[in-house]
Amino acid sequence: MAAIDVVGAHWSTDDLAGLTVVVTGGTRGVGRGIVEAYLAVGCSVYVGSRNAPSEEDRPSVQRLDGSTAQATYMAVDVRDAEQIGWLVELAVGDTGRLDVWINNAGGAPSADAATASPRFSQSIVNLNLMAALFGATAANTVMQTQESGGLIINIASVSGLRPSPLTAAYGAAKAGLMNLTESLAAEWGPKVRVNGIAAGMLDTGAASDHFGGDEGVSRIAATVPLNRLGTPHDIAGVCLLLSSPLASYISGANLVVHGGGEWPAFHHAMKA
């Protein structure tokens, strides 16, 4: 395996092999990319989502050592603290430990805040904020008992850093998730590190439909300094970095992964 020497610290992808990793909402999009990345480096991966995929829909990943691996899936409602506990019990019961917990489940359809029902808005906050708190708390309970501690990663969004029209409850929940990341890192250190990833605009396989076809995707990508949308594997790579010894002093951070951001609207108005 490739090895890196950083200020006298010898590190390779072998250091991640054998970790027990749990990912919520890991059946498609960003979650699936994260699952595949951890499987590739030799981790035991457990996935909790509302619907566990069929055997034929589960990715089989070739590891760096040439073997193949699959994740273990459990159908759970991540908004239910009791069901989150079942997922923890599954992972710990199989491997005896829990090293990395990734709160990835989330999302929201577009809705006008003025007409969205209270029930709808509450469901968005529950999925994007409360579910992460339940998951983090359950993971922390195990990690605090381990000599090696553990790592919790919250997948947030740039929607929590800027206005989020038509997804106001989602943006507010993601803003709350970033604050939660900092608060839990302060409470749970030094045993447990807690970090967030504020993801920018991503192509998760459905970008063409969401942005109005390939032409729409190209127009949106042109507003990003790197001239492309992000991919699930871009986010997965940051997760692997945070899980490595290279990130051992990173906690309470919300890493913005957005390709340089988005051009401010007034720039386009100036050119019009």
Candidates 233, 218, 230, 225; CA nearest to 257 is 230
| Distance, CA of 119 to CA of 122 (rounded, Å) | 5
Residue 255: which H helix or E strand, with range?
Answer: strand 254-257
Token duo for residue 139: 């993971």
User: 38, 46, 170, 249: which is the annotated catalytic residue?
Assistant: 170
Candidates 84, 72, 80; CA nearest to 47 is 72
Residue type, 194: V
Residue 48: which H helix or E strand, with range?
Answer: strand 44-49
Q: Annotated catalytic, 73?
A: no
126: DSSP letter: I
Helix, strand or coil, per DSSP, at residue 51: coil
**Which residues participate in catalysis according to the annotation?**
170
